[in-house]
């Protein structure tokens, strides 16, 4: 087996990192790290994103049973770790393994791998890092922020972080306040100063409203807008959020919106070409920054035949303030060429 530290070392040895944008340029936001190349939310993936010149690096956060902020996308463990093999019998009745049922010390023993579909074990993106190579580890938000700070010190940079509070309502039902925990970690790393390069994002409007008017006042907040078809019965009115009136309401508590690519782009017409909707313009008219998610070279929207064309549509025609991408190197190179 290849020692896992080899990946981190190889990433660190990669000569000089690509240069991030100036503060006023459109942002390259590394979605779960350089997740097109290395398993999402691993330290190795974050180092690679850093070296590729990402302006901001994303951290999805969930809580462990003992209350630690862990960098993982799902409230479940089974799509990206070997939990079923390591802890047989710890699944709930629905067959899923929940992060919140494990202490951090247990989570640290798991091996992490490329995302698979838990039902089949098949890789979510088949041409990415081999899913059977579980060479990686789970880490905390505290560890990741320390990593970024250390790299910034070495390279004299100020890389941003884009922290998503995953499912605050779920955590609240379990008696935990994920916003409080994350704010404590941000405090301990000095992100509560004016001008700090940090965004807090969530699909949950209530947690952002509470943050903005309370403990998180002054932190840039980004309301993620979902498609209601993803979560039937959701209490959040995402359809209204996409209207000018809804965007005006968001502007009362947030600084920006995270817009799904499927809502920013129009369905291809008879000519087969993809157009754009008014959503990005409407959001900007409401005074909101717009960060679009997610640009993937290996999952292009209908009617778009190359990643370059997608980058041009999103950064060029739509003129977004930032884009989440699994391929931060390609976005960086595109923006550098402009
Ligand atoms: O947070 C922006 C984007 O990451 C939202 O989608 O599901 O990848 O967290 P998701
Ligand atoms: Ca996210």
Per-residue pLDDT of 292-331, as tens digits, reads 999 999 999 999 999 999 999 999 999 999 999 999 999 9
Q: Give residue 1's pLDDT band: very low, low, confident or very high (50, 70, 90).
A: very low
Atom of ligand 1 nearest to the CA of 166: 9
167 ligand 1 Cβ < 6 A: no
Which-ligand-closest: CA of 324? 1
Nearest CA to ligand 1 atom 7: 73
Report how far residue 338's alpha carbon sits from residue 333's, in angstroms, rounded to the nearest whole number: 9
59 ligand 1 Cβ < 6 A: no
* Helix, strand, or coil (residue 317): helix
Locate tokens 């247990």: which residue? 106
Quickly count: other Cβ atoms within 10 Å of residue 60's Cβ.
Answer: 20
293 ligand 1 Cβ < 6 A: yes
- Which is more confidently placed, 327 or 24? 327
324 ligand 1 Cβ < 6 A: yes
Residue 162 annotated in active site: no
Phi-psi region of 128 (alpha: psi -120 to 50; beta: other; left: phi over 0): beta
Give the per-residue pLDDT at 273. Answer: 77
pLDDT single digits (tens) 116-161: 999 999 999 999 999 999 999 999 999 999 999 999 999 999 999 9
Instruction: Tell me the average pLDDT across 196-222.
Output: 95
296 ligand 1 Cβ < 6 A: no
Architecture category of domain 6-79+139-337 in CATH: Alpha-Beta Barrel (3.20)
State percent of the chain over pLDDT 90. Answer: 88
Question: How do the domains of the chain map onto residue ranges?
Answer: 6-79+139-337
Residue 113 annotated in active site: no
Its pTM surpasses 0.85: yes
Annotated active-site residue in 41, 68, 73, 139:
73
Q: 58 CA to middle of ligand 2, Å?
A: 7
Which of 36, 56, 57, 58 has most ligand 1 atoms within 8 Å of CB, for mutation?
Answer: 58
Q: Are 257 and 247 in contact (CB under 8 A)?
A: yes
């Amino acid at each position: 087996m290849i020692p896992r530290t080899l990946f981190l070392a190889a990433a660190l040895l990669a000569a000089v990192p690509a240069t991030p944008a100036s503060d006023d340029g459109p942002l390259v936001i590394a979605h779960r790290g350089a997740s097109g190349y290395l398993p999402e939310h691993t330290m190795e993936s974050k180092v690679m994103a850093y070296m590729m010149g990402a302006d901001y690096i994303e951290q999805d956060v969930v809580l462990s049973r003992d209350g630690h902020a862990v960098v993982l996308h799902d409230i479940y463990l089974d799509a990206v770790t070997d939990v079923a093999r390591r802890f047989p019998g710890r699944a709930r009745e629905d067959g899923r393994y929940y992060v919140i049922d494990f202490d951090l010390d247990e989570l640290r023993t798991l091996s992490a791998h490329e995302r698979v579909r838990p039902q089949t074990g098949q890789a979510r993106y088949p041409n990415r890092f081999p899913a059977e190579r579980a060479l990686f580890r789970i880490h905390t938000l505290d560890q990741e922020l320390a990593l970024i700070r250390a790299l910034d010190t070495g390279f004299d940079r100020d890389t941003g972080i884009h922290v998503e509070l995953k499912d605050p309502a779920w955590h609240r039902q379990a008696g935990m306040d994920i916003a409080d925990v994350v704010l404590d970690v941000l405090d301990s790393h000095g992100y509560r100063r004016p001008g700090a390069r940090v965004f807090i994002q969530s699909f949950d409007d209530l947690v952002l409203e509470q943050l903005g008017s309370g403990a998180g006042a002054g932190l840039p907040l980004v309301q993620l807008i979902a498609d209601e078809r993803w979560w039937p019965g959701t209490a959040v009115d995402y359809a209204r959020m996409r209207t000018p009136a809804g965007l005006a309401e968001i502007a009362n508590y947030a600084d920006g919106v995270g817009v799904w690519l499927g809502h920013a782009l129009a369905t291809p017409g008879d000519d087969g070409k993809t157009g754009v909707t008014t959503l990005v313009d409407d959001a900007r008219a409401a005074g909101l920054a717009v960060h679009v998610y997610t640009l993937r070279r290996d999952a292009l929207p209908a009617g778009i035949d190359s990643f370059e064309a997608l980058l041009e549509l999103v950064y060029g025609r739509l003129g977004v303030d930032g884009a989440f991408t699994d391929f931060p190197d390609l976005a960086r190179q595109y923006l550098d060429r402009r």
